[in-house]
Structure 1
Amino acid sequence: MLDVVVPVHDEEADLEQCVRRLDAHLRTLPFSYRITIAENASTDGTLDVAQRLAAQLPGVTVRVETEPGRGRALNRAWAASDAAVLVYMDVDLSTDLNALLPLVAPLISGHSDLAIGTRLAGSSRVVRGAKR
């Protein structure tokens, strides 16, 4: 199983669209998955949106962290996961979803133990949204 952890803090406006897009993409892949929304001490309606998504989409779960901190949220979500492969993605899905399968396939097959993707490589094409 692949567990994609998406840490969020005050992402009420963007969370639903992004998680639905990620879920639709993961459904096309040839292995099981889970999307874990790591709700990270938000002060807006992010938790409500996350819980609604978890109720509507079978592959989505929510972890609630009351202390802020992206690293803390990721570490706790990964420590609690039973998945064989752990992935981190920003809620804005700034990484091309088509890059996910080539990155995780060697992990799922057992060929590799670690894979790292970066937008800093010279051949990368980085497109940022208006929020950035």
Structure 2
Amino acid sequence: MSVVIPALNAAGTLPAQLEALARQDVDVPWEVVVIDNGSTDGTLDVCRSFEGRVPGLRAISCARPGTSAARNAGAASSSSELLLFCDADDEVAPGWVSAMVAALRTSDAVGGAIENDKLTTVRTPYMPRHPDHLPVVAGFLPRAITANLGVRREVFDDVGGFAADYDYGGPDTEFCWRLQLAGHRLTYAPDAVVHYRHRHTLRSVAVKAFRTGISRGRLYRDYGPRGMPRPRLAGVAARWAGLLLSAPAAAVSPARRWRWVEQAAGAAGRVRGSWRFRVLYL
């Protein structure tokens, strides 16, 4: 079994993740593969400092930028029957590896639970929270996020791994959709918990929402013909009208400002994605 972690300039957060993995109680052979995606800080030094403490820890390099390319490189470097994916800036909870392995005994792929609070060092008026289930995205199919994802090797190979040309906001959704459309089963593993590091600045929330909005255009281009629905124009009009009407309140209320900025950035991203991918997905 292999734990695959893409890393780019992660020297500040990777130690906590590797420490959490070092404390896992696992009764099967396993390894941890860190994929350096072009770091210029001490990410590789961090990996070397954990050698001997984390089972089978090794670091490899991936010249192609992007987390999807890095995850594919990590999977390709391993011959394990089970692939577990997590991120360099989060922290797996005790028992995570064992819970993922147990869940994969009866499923083709699993998404674990996301804990929202432990790594939240700055409290904000509004913070997006992951639900305690696998959410259905864009009214189409559920997905797990790559911060807590497990998949059987034969399934990963069958669907061709992650689509390396997908930008931020779409790779995990696209992978999970393609996996399910190929006839494989994706389930929720509530006992496999990852502590998630949320963004806590208004700018970072806006950037995430904007880039996610752009990715919806690409998803609709590729999966509209396979059943992904387009938002109804009445709903689109209501969303834009709501943004205009709520702008004055957002100017004076911090909590409403965070919500407004996220919604406005997402709407702008869908406009940009529609133009970029030559679709109408607003």
When the two structures are superposed, what TM-score results if normalisation uses the length of structure 2?
0.39
Structure 2 distance, partners of 1:36, 1:112, is 23
Alpha carbons of structure 1 residues 100 and 79: separation in structure 2 relative to 1, 3 Å: same
1:7 is the counterpart of 2:33: no
Contact 2:4–2:32, Cα closer than 8 Å, also in 1: yes
Corresponding residue for residue 108 of structure 2: 113
Q: What is the aligned-residue identity percentage?
A: 25
Structure 1 distance, partners of 2:110, 2:28, is 17
Q: CA deviation at 1:100?
A: 4.0
Q: CA deviation at 1:30?
A: 1.7
Contact 2:33–2:58, Cα closer than 8 Å, also in 1: yes
Larger Rg: 2
Contact 1:54–1:62, Cα closer than 8 Å, also in 2: no
Larger % of helix: which? 2
Corresponding residue for residue 29 of structure 1: 26
| RMSD of aligned residue pairs (Cα, Å) | 2.9
Aligned residues: 127
Alpha carbons of structure 1 residues 126 and 18: separation in structure 2 relative to 1, 3 Å: closer
Unpaired segments ≥5 residues, structure 2: 115-129, 134-189, 201-282
1:54 is the counterpart of 2:40: no
Corresponding residue for residue 82 of structure 2: 85
Structure 2 distance, partners of 1:106, 1:126, is 15
Structure 2 distance, partners of 1:84, 1:24, is 22
Structure 2 distance, partners of 1:29, 1:58, is 10
Contact 1:23–1:35, Cα closer than 8 Å, also in 2: no
Unpaired segments ≥5 residues, structure 1: none
Q: CA deviation at 1:11?
A: 0.9
